[in-house]
């Protein structure tokens, strides 16, 4: 196994089989997750993404599946809320569900992340910082049972994105979640928006994760949604390069927009995009501190495409 490839893509795919376009029922989705954990490319596999409201539905299945030596890892989606009060009440319910899940399965499960969309109301800067900090501390907990909270902005205009990332920078223990696709062309953010978020998170020291639309390694046109889909090598390779070289937003845009897979290469020592290179040690650090993972309803598509590129 190429150590640089493992550093770049290790644990990068959080399995979102419950969500569109796959939108599987819970039982086949969790059984897919259990099966993928046994396959040769399982090192690429991260957490199972599940709404907090569905955790109790795993009880009968979990008694069968969660009995191995290695814990099943989860990222839990929060309920969110329409306003500050609704949001805080929903967070408390999510936490209750998570604690009940942990009590049921003990060391056989790990809830490693909590993902939630912030309320749509406009909050003053200090209120936003307080809301994020209060929520994050609830989930951080002790070292073994804590979860990292990732917050999604309710709005995608640059001011809103910057406000959330700025608040996260002051919290020091949470991450930013960007929606990178969906079922319609309008759900896919523009190249400059993705570059802006990556650059802003890097500059602020805020961990980044993505969700949706990153089924394939390299950016390309998709006829089904009639738009160009982002590539996970563009986004996460670009993120690693930006981390190592302090790339500007404009420099990142060129990487994220690149549709030529031959511009990306990897060897034992690191990743290269055109003439720009990032060493393995910097990849390890970038993945740990900056560009963490992405949610995908498919695990087959990412690894099949990587095989086609001869990376696997």
Query: What CATH number corresponds to the domain at position 162?
Result: 3.20.20.70
Instruction: State the average pLDDT over residues 210-228.
Output: 95
Q: Which domain holds residue 23?
A: 3-216+293-299
pTM of the model: 0.95
Q: How many structural domains comprise the chain?
A: 1
Confidence (pLDDT) at 140: 74
Confidence (pLDDT) at 103: 94
Confidence (pLDDT) at 144: 53
**H/E element holding 217?**
none
- Tokens 């059984």 sit at which residue? 31
Name the residue among 245, 244, 312 with its Cα closest to residue 281. 244
C-alpha to C-alpha distance for 175 and 152, rounded to whole angstroms: 9
Residue 162 belongs to some domain of the structure: yes
Residue 235 belongs to some domain of the structure: no
**Residue 89 three-state SS:** helix
Residue 116 belongs to some domain of the structure: yes
C-alpha to C-alpha distance for 135 and 93, rounded to whole angstroms: 12
- Whole-number average pLDDT of the chain: 94
Confidence (pLDDT) at 142: 47
Residue 243 belongs to some domain of the structure: no
Instruction: State the average pLDDT over residues 33-55.
Output: 96
Token pair in block for residue 289:
């501190």
Residue 195 belongs to some domain of the structure: yes
Does the CA dihedral 236-241-244-248 come out positive or negative? negative
pLDDT band at residue 127, thresholds of 50, 70 and 90?
confident
Confidence (pLDDT) at 138: 84
Answer whether residue 35 shows pLDDT above 80. yes
Dump pLDDT digits (tens) for 160-178: 999 999 999 987 779 999 9
Dump pLDDT digits (tens) for 71-85: 999 999 999 998 889
Residue 274 Cα to chain centre, angstroms: 26
Whether residue 174 contacts residue 150, with contact meaning beta carbons closer than 8 Å, is answered with yes
Confidence (pLDDT) at 120: 84
**H/E element holding 276?**
strand 276-279
Dump pLDDT digits (tens) for 266-280: 999 999 999 999 999
**Residue 111 three-state SS:** strand
Dump pLDDT digits (tens) for 237-270: 999 999 999 999 999 999 999 999 999 999 999 9
- Tokens 């031959």 sit at which residue? 262
* Residue percentage of the chain with pLDDT more than 90: 87
Confidence (pLDDT) at 231: 98
Residue 97 belongs to some domain of the structure: yes
Answer whether residue 145 shows pLDDT above 90. no
Residue 115 belongs to some domain of the structure: yes
Residue 176 belongs to some domain of the structure: yes
């Amino acid at each position: 196994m190429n150590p640089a490839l493992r550093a770049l893509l290790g644990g990068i795919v959080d399995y979102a089989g419950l969500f569109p376009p796959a939108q599987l029922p819970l039982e086949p989705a969790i059984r897919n997750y259990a099966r993928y954990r046994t396959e040769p490319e399982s090192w690429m596999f991260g957490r199972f993404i599940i709404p907090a409201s569905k955790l109790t539905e795993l009880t009968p299945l979990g008694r069968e599946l969660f009995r191995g030596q290695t814990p099943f890892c989860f990222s839990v989606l929060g309920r969110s809320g329409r306003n500050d009060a609704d949001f805080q009440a929903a967070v408390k319910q999510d936490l209750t569900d998570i604690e009940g899940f942990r009590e049921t399965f003990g060391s056989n499960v790990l809830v490693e992340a909590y993902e939630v969309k912030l309320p749509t109301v406009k909050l003053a800067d200090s209120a936003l910082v307080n809301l994020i900090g209060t929520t994050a501390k609830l989930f951080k907990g002790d070292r073994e049972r804590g979860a990292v909270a990732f917050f999604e902005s309710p709005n995608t205009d640059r001011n809103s994105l910057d406000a959330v990332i700025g608040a996260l920078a002051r919290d020091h223990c949470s991450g930013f979640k960007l929606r990178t696709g969906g079922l319609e062309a309008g759900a896919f953010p523009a190249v400059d928006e993705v570059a802006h978020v990556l650059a802003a998170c890097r500059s602020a020291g805020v961990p980044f994760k993505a969700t949706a639309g990153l089924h394939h390694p390299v950016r390309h046109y998709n006829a089904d949604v009639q738009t160009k889909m982002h590539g996970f090598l563009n986004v996460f390779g670009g993120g690693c390069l930006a981390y190592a070289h302090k790339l500007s937003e404009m420099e990142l845009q060129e990487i994220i927009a690149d549709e030529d897979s031959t511009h990306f290469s990897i060897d034992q020592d690191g990743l290269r995009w055109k003439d720009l290179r990032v060493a393995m040690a910097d990849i390890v650090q970038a993945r740990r501190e900056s560009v963490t993972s992405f949610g995908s309803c498919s695990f087959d598509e990412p690894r099949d495409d990587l095989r086609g590129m001869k990376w696997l």
